[in-house]
Amino acid sequence: AIIAAESGHIVGKEGGAIEATGHKIIAEPGVDGKLTPEIIQLAFDRSSEFDYQPKPKMVFISNTTEIGTLYTRSELAAVAAICKKLKLLLFLDGARLGAALTSSKNDVTWNDVYNLTDIFWIGGTKNGALLGEAVVIKDPSLGADFPYHMKQRGALLAKGRVLGIQFDTLFQDDLFFRLARDSNSAAAEMFSSLVKMGFKLWAATESNQVFVIFPPALVQELREDFDFFIWEHLHDGSLVIRLVTSWATEHSQVQRFCRVVKKWMKRS
């Protein structure tokens, strides 16, 4: 079984892929989208009370998290320590690792990610690549059958060099980080403008995701010109929307979005 935060990507955004392979996800409420040693210990203990309960073998975290927050180095080290104590593998989903490592709030390094996890991947798809992630498996014994499982699950590309060429390019001339910084910069501009207009954030903006609370009428108008997710329906009828900026987001697009919001406010 895999211990993950309730907001974790594998919990509700992968069509039950983990369960489809015969494994159980033990979903726990996170703190700002993150797991803590206390949460992991509690989940482990709860699943160890009886012999026939799902047996945790791995902890799944992501950086950035599904709500755009970051693990600090001390938080990541604490999670790694509890995993080592409980003999659990630590897997870090790095689909947005570029955004995490270039955030102004970040104090985690490449070496920290490598040294404190057992498996992680470097996200290319969300950071300028056409497709693909670079999976890093530290223990050769864990990766021995990885190509076999990729083939069995339909994930092995016939022309795998396409992936390598992309990452070879991304890691030249600081391109990987420059693209990530651009996405974070666009998000910072967006959240700053929305806060100045008086809107409240549902989660702290630490990377390239902005979670803002809007009235339904504004959301409806914005959907005519922009694509975004409705993340949560609040009790007062307000909506939490998730705005994600990317390496390709231009500041003119951010400004256009904010102009539409301002025009709606004047009419309301």
Query: pLDDT tens, 50-68?
Result: 889 999 999 999 999 999 9
Mean pLDDT of 237-250: 97
Q: How far apart are the first and last CA of the chain?
A: 50
Mean pLDDT of 206-232: 97
Beta-carbon contacts of 230 under 8 Å, excluding residues fewer than 6 positions away, are 219, 239, 240, 241, 242
pLDDT recorded at residue 72: 98
Q: Is the pLDDT of residue 98 over 90?
A: yes
Q: Where are the beta strands (DSSP E) in the chain?
A: 2-5, 25-28, 58-62, 89-93, 119-123, 133-137, 209-214, 229-233, 239-244
Q: What percentage of the chain has pLDDT greater than the value 70? A: 100
Burial label for 23, CB within 10 Å (0-12, 13-18, 19+), is middle
Beta-carbon contacts of 118 under 8 Å, excluding residues fewer than 6 positions away, are 83, 89, 90, 91, 137, 138, 139, 142
Rounded to a whole number of angstroms, the CA Rg of the chain reads 20
pLDDT in tens, 100-152: 999 999 999 999 999 999 999 999 999 999 999 999 999 999 999 999 999 99
pLDDT in tens, 148-195: 999 998 888 889 899 999 999 999 999 999 999 999 999 999 999 999
- 191 vs 268, higher pLDDT: 191
Q: How confident is the model at residue 46 (pLDDT cuts 50, 70, 90)?
A: very high
Q: What percentage of the chain has pLDDT greater than the value 90? A: 93
Q: Are strands 119-123 and 89-93 parallel, antiparallel or unpaired?
A: parallel
**SS3 label, residue 166:** helix
Q: Measured between alpha carbons, how far is 143 from 149 in angstroms, rounded to an integer?
A: 10
Beta-carbon contacts of 142 under 8 Å, excluding residues fewer than 6 positions away, are 89, 118, 119
Q: How confident is the model at residue 268 (pLDDT cuts 50, 70, 90)?
A: confident
